[in-house]
Amino acid sequence: MDGQRRIGYADRLAAVDSTGLLALPHAPGLDRLTRLASRLLGVPTSLVSLVTDERQVFASQLGLPSPWARAGQTPLSHSFCQYVVDNDAPLVVTDARADERVHDNRAVDEIGVIAYAGMPIRMDGHTLGSFCAIDAEPRTWSATDLALLEDLAAAASSEIALIKAAGDAGHAARTMRAVLEASHDAYVSTDAEGIVLDWNPAAERLFGWSRAEAIGAPAIRLIIPPEHRARYAADVARVRGGGESVLAGRRMEMPVKDRNGRIFPVEYTVQVTAVGRPVFHAFLHDISARLRAQGELEQRNRQLEQANLLKLDLMGMLSHDIGTPLAAISGFSELLADEPLPESALDLIGRIRKATHRIDELRHNVLAMCSLDAGTLTARRQPVQLAHALREALDAVEADIPVECPDSLWVLVNPAHLTQIIVNFLTNAAKYGGGATAITARLDGKAVIVAVHDEGPGVPPALRPTLFDRYTRAEDICGPRGHGLGLHIVASLAGANHGTVSHHDNHPRGSTFRLTLDAAAHP
């Protein structure tokens, strides 16, 4: 009996435990079998024994002496059935006192086991224990005895499988009930006549009928509005007549009513089970809030579409209706500035020119922002002489600062975008940095780096990580109020031209804003 013990196999022990019989106090079906064994074999004791790695538990027993009968189990030191499990084979003993296999087992002296015949009880490929007959006197077991015992062991195996299946079904039912009780969706179950069979707490909350009131009542009366009852009744009748439900398995929406007659929309799914008569299982949840949100979203989308049309109209107005007269004002003010006018008049003309340049800058920024939002910002790049373009940008803002840029430097860029970027850097320097102090440009490999320098207080550290993001505004920390769009537009324009922009702190004072563009060959 030494060597590897089958009784210790983990999967076998799990199979024994899964029967539920280790803790079940009474199994009537197994008791009938042990009574039948004692009557047919003429033995005082019959057992259905389930064997673990430490003990044998009697799922049914007849004729055991006390205290073993009362305990319902013995340790393995008092077990013959363990050998049936270990060998996965019958064990037949005529006289245990003279049998070397079991003569030293304590069941011989303490329980009075002299003759023993045990057959394996199997389930799902595992030997769970033994169906055995025991006599207190030596006995030669006949072939008929053993055949009968084998049949009873097979019957016990089937009974244990049924007990396990019932236990599993009960566990599944309890689990499902717990799920339904905790579910936020209403669960309504009806029979083929539309009579409510089940109604969970969520259904109570949704419809206002208690479970006790709902069960046994027609669902059509409880929750279906009059105008939808014909459709519901037709589907129930179709299934009752052997057809398939047109609603089953689909996610649908329909109006329902509650106890107070309030009509509201729900989303629901229906499943039909047909073990015997068909049963409908419906899960429902109120979608009033969702539909309201959808309506609000659709209204908002319509408003956004209208706003987009307005934006397109604005772009057209900025391009033509404002751009054309603005160019005229700018041109005429430049002509007037060259006339021999009084100093006070020239000062006013200068103010007009600055205001015109500022409006034009804002116009270009708005046009760029509209293009960004529409996803239509593109750049038709061409070779541009950088030194000349930088002087034009300075003229646009009427600034007079040193420019260090070789005449031989050319960049690949949209000329208008380049001007807009440099003008924005210069304008920001005037707002927040005390004015730009210099513009430099140098060749760096196949790129050209343009830098606008100032000696102002610098960009606060808290602002730097989001400096080129939309709606980042310096006035949150210091300086005059802006719109938080200028540097974001600059970064987008640079990106459209395959370039980049960046900021560098000039410790202890000042900042440098850099634009990096592809170098171009002299055309």
282: Cα separation from own chain's centroid: 24
Q: Judging by beta carbons within 10 Å of its beta carbon (0-12, 13-18, 19+), is residue 264 exposed, middle or buried? A: middle
Compute CA 243 distance to the chain's CA centroid, rounded to the nearest angstrom.
Answer: 37
**What is the distance between the terminal CA atoms of the chain, rounded to a whole angstrom?**
100
Structure tokens at 505: 């702190």
What pLDDT shows up at residue 476?
A: 47
What pLDDT score does 484 carry? Answer: 64
Report the domain count for the chain: 4
User: Helix axis angle, 486-496 relative to 415-432, nearest 10°?
Assistant: 150
CA distance 195 to 29: 36
Beta pairing, strands 91-93 & 73-75:
unpaired
Residue 370: inside a domain: no
Taking residue 377's Cβ as centre, other Cβ atoms within 10 Å add up to: 18
- Please report, for the domain that includes residue 86, its CATH number: 3.30.450.40
Query: What angle (nearest 5°) sits at the alpha carbon of residue 491, between those of residues 521 and 493?
Result: 55
The CATH number of whichever domain residue 484 belongs to comes to 3.30.565.10
Q: Which residues of the chain have pLDDT under 70?
A: 1-4, 239-249, 311-321, 323, 358, 361-376, 471, 473-484
Rounded distance between C-alpha atoms, residue 136 and residue 142, angstroms = 17
User: What distance in Å separates the CA atoms of residue 412 and residue 309, rounded to the nearest whole number?
Assistant: 34
**Is position 372 within any domain?**
no
Total Cβ atoms within 10 A of residue 190 = 23
Cβ 185 vs Cβ 201: under 8 Å = no
Q: Are residues 274 and 309 in the same domain?
A: no
369 falls within a domain? no
- Same domain (yes/no): 160, 192: no
Structure token pair of residue 94: 């005529």
> How far apart, in Å, are the Cα atoms of 74 and each of 25, 311, 381?
15, 89, 94
Amino acid in the structure at residue 256: V
Same domain, 98 and 151: yes
- The SS3 assignment for 278 reads coil
User: What was the pLDDT predicted at 314?
Assistant: 66
> Angle at Cα 436 formed by Cα 430 and Cα 440, nearest 5°?
150
Give the separation between CA 377 and CA 370, rounded to whole angstroms: 9
Euclidean distance between CA atoms 56 and 131, whole angstroms: 12
Q: What is the pTM of this model?
A: 0.51
Q: Tell me, yes or no, whether 37 and 113 share the same domain.
A: yes
Q: What CATH number has the domain bearing residue 246?
A: 3.30.450.20
pLDDT tens digits along 321-367: 676 777 788 788 878 878 888 888 888 887 887 778 767 766 666 66
Question: Could you tell me which residues are beta bridge partners of residue 516?
Answer: 449, 500
Domain presence at residue 1:
no
Question: In this structure, is residue 313 part of a structural domain?
Answer: yes
Separation between Cα atoms, residue 496 and residue 508, nearest integer Å: 33
Measured in residues, the chain has a length of 523
Q: Among 336, 363, 390, which residue terminates a domain?
A: 363
Whether residues 266 and 359 share a domain: the answer is no
Residue 523's pLDDT is what? 77
CA distance 122 to 106: 26
Phi, psi of 396 (to 5 degrees): -65, -30
- Asked whether residue 209 falls in the same domain as residue 141, the answer is no
3-class DSSP assignment, residue 303: helix
Q: Which domain holds residue 354?
A: 292-363
348 shares its domain with 430: no
Domain final position from 171, 198, 229: 171
pLDDT of residue 477: 46
Do 188 and 264 have their domain in common? yes
In angstroms, the CA 85 to CA 256 distance is 61
Comparing CA positions, the residue from 409, 440, 390, 422 lying closest to residue 520 is 409
Can you tell me which residue has the tokens 């019957």? Answer: 155
Where does a domain end: 337, 363, 389?
A: 363
Based on the domain organization, do 165 and 19 belong to the same domain? yes
Q: For residues 486 and 420, state if they share a domain.
A: yes
pLDDT of residue 12: 94
CA distances from 440 to 409, 436, 455, 514 (A): 12, 11, 15, 9
C-beta atoms surrounding 338 within 10 Å: 9
Structure confidence by residue, pLDDT tens digits, 220-250: 999 999 988 888 788 777 766 665 555 566 7
